[in-house]
Amino acid sequence: MVKTATCAFRKASLLCRFMSEFASGKIRFPHSHLLGIEGLTSNVISLLLDCAENFVEHNRQTDNKLSSLSGRTIINLFFEESTRTRTSFELAAKQLGANVINMSVATSSVKKGETLIDTAMTLNAMHPDVLVVRHSESGAVKLLSEKVNCAVINAGDGRHEHPTQALLDALTIRRRKGHISGLLVAICGDIAHSRVARSNIHLLNAMGAQVRLIAPKTLIPSSIAKMGVEVFNNMEEGLQDCDIVMMLRLQSERMSSGFFPSIREYFHFFGLDYKKLANAKDDALIMHPGPMNRGVEIASEVADDLGRSAIREQVEMGVAVRMACLELLTAISTKGNGT
Ligand code: ASP
C-alpha cells in the first residue's frame, strides 16, 4: 500500500518536474511544426519520448486530467480515413485540457471544391493553436504548414511520413527493451506504400538501431537501400536474430496493379506466423501499426499473443506520444511564424 502510494507520488512528481523545467524554458523543442522524423536529432527524439514517458504513467492514474492546454484550440483536419490516429489525437488534446474540433472531409467544403490551401487559410483565420493534418498526397502537410501561422502536426501524408506513429513505436520499444540503440529491427511487408516504414527508418537510424526491410521485390522501392537499411526478400533469412518484428498492413487502397499473385500466396511467404517468427530472437517483440489484416500480413494467434505482441500497448503509447507533441509544440507556438 505504502509502496504503491510512494510510487504514484514519485511518478506524479516526475511529471511536475518535467513540466516546470519545460515551463521555465530549460527544456525546449526546437521546431515550429512536426512534419516528419527526417531531420530530427536523436536528442530531440529523446526529448519527445521522455515527455511522452511521463504522460504514460500519468494517464494510468484515475485522476488524470491536466490543464496545460486549457484555452488552446486543436483542429484535427483529416482528408483521409482514420480511426485510431484521429481518436488518439483527440483524446491526447482533451487530456491536456484543450478545445478540440474534428473536421471531417465528408462534410467539409473540400467536397464542394475548396482547395487544400483555401481550407487551411479558412481554418487559420479561426486562430487555432495546432492543426493536426492527414492527407493522401505526400508533401501536402508541409505545403499547408507554409501557409498557416500555427503549429502543424503531420498525422500521415501519402507514402511520405507518419511521425507520431514512429515515435509511439519507439516509445513501445524503449519501454519493453530498455533501449533502442543496437537493436536489430525488421520492418516487413508493404514497404512501397508505407509512410510508417519511412518514419520508422529515419527514427531507428537516428537512434542507432539496425534496420532490415523484408518484402517481395514488388513491394520494395529500389531506392530505399540508400536509407541505410538491409533489404531481404525472404522472411526466414531477414528475421534471423531480430529483436523487433514490425509488420505492415498491405495497403491495397494505394495499389494500382497486382503486386503479388494472391493473398494466400502473400501470407504463405510473407505473413507472420509462429514458424517464421521462430527465426527471430526468442524474446522478439511483435508490432503492427494497425489496422491489421488478419490472415494476410499476420496470423491472428501471433497478433493476439499477449506474451510477445505489443500491438495493444502501441495504441496506449500513441496517446502519450501525441500529448507530448501537442505540449512541446504549443509551448513555443508564436502564431506568426510559419516556418
Ligand atoms: N495507420 C497507419 C497509417 O495511417 C498504417 C496503415 O494505415 O496501414 O499509415
pLDDT in tens, 48-57: 999 999 999 8
Sign of the alpha-carbon dihedral angle for 243, 177, 38, 128: positive
- In the chain, the largest separation of any two C-alpha atoms, in whole Å, equals 62
Per-residue confidence band for 10, with pLDDT thresholds at 50, 70 and 90: very low
pLDDT of residue 121: 87
All three cell numbers of 309: 505482441
Q: Is 319 helix (H, G, I), strand (E, B) or coil?
A: helix
- % of the chain with per-residue pLDDT over 70: 86
* 162, 298, 314, 322: residue to mutate for ligand 1 pocket, most atoms within 8 A of CB: 162
Taking the centre of ligand 1 as the mean of its atom positions, its distance from the CA of residue 164, in whole angstroms, is: 11
Ligand 1 in reach of 196 Cβ (< 6 A):
yes
Buried/exposed code over 96-122 (b: 16+ C-beta within 10 A; e: otherwise):
bebebeebebeebebeeeeebeebbee
Residues 6+ apart with CB under 8 A from 166: 37, 196, 199, 200, 202, 203
Ligand 1 in reach of 189 Cβ (< 6 A):
no
Residues 6+ apart with CB under 8 A from 78: 86, 102, 103, 104, 105, 133, 134, 155
pLDDT at residue 159 is higher than 90: yes
Per-residue confidence band for 120, with pLDDT thresholds at 50, 70 and 90: confident
List phi, psi (to 5°) of 45. Answer: -60, -45
pLDDT of residue 113: 63
pLDDT at residue 332 is higher than 60: no
pLDDT of residue 5: 37
Ligand 1, residue 251: give the atom nearest the CA. Answer: 8
235: left (phi over 0), alpha (psi -120 to 50) or beta: alpha
Ligand 1 in reach of 288 Cβ (< 6 A):
no
pLDDT of residue 8: 43
Q: Could you give the CA distance from residue 24 to residue 19 in angstroms, rounded to a whole number?
A: 9
Q: Are 53 and 323 in contact (CB under 8 A)?
A: no
Which residues have a catalytic role annotated?
Answer: 84-85, 112, 134, 162
Q: What is the mean pLDDT of residues 172-176?
A: 98
Taking the centre of ligand 1 as the mean of its atom positions, its distance from the CA of residue 197, in whole angstroms, is: 10
Ligand 1 in reach of 289 Cβ (< 6 A):
yes
Q: Give the H or E element holding residue 144.
A: helix 140-145
pLDDT of residue 207: 98
pLDDT of residue 4: 39
* Ranges 2-16, 97-111, 269-283: which has the least confidence: 2-16
Q: Is 178 helix (H, G, I), strand (E, B) or coil?
A: coil
Location of C-alpha cell 511467404: 269
Ligand 1 in reach of 160 Cβ (< 6 A):
no
**Long-range pairs of 14-20 with CB within 8 A, sequence gap ≥ 24:** 14/54, 14/57, 15/54, 15/55, 15/57, 15/58, 18/50, 18/51, 18/54, 19/68
All three cell numbers of 87: 481518436
pTM: 0.91
pLDDT at residue 339 is higher than 80: no
Q: Is 262 helix (H, G, I), strand (E, B) or coil?
A: coil
List phi, psi (to 5°) of 335. Answer: 50, 55
Residues 6+ apart with CB under 8 A from 134: 77, 78, 79, 80, 82, 85, 86, 141, 154, 155, 156, 157
pLDDT at residue 115 is higher than 60: yes
- % of the chain with per-residue pLDDT over 90: 73
pLDDT in tens, 267-279: 999 999 999 999 9
Taking the centre of ligand 1 as the mean of its atom positions, its distance from the CA of residue 320, in whole angstroms, is: 18
Per-residue confidence band for 249, with pLDDT thresholds at 50, 70 and 90: very high
pLDDT at residue 106 is higher than 70: no
The beta strand positions in 79-124, using DSSP E, are: 99-104
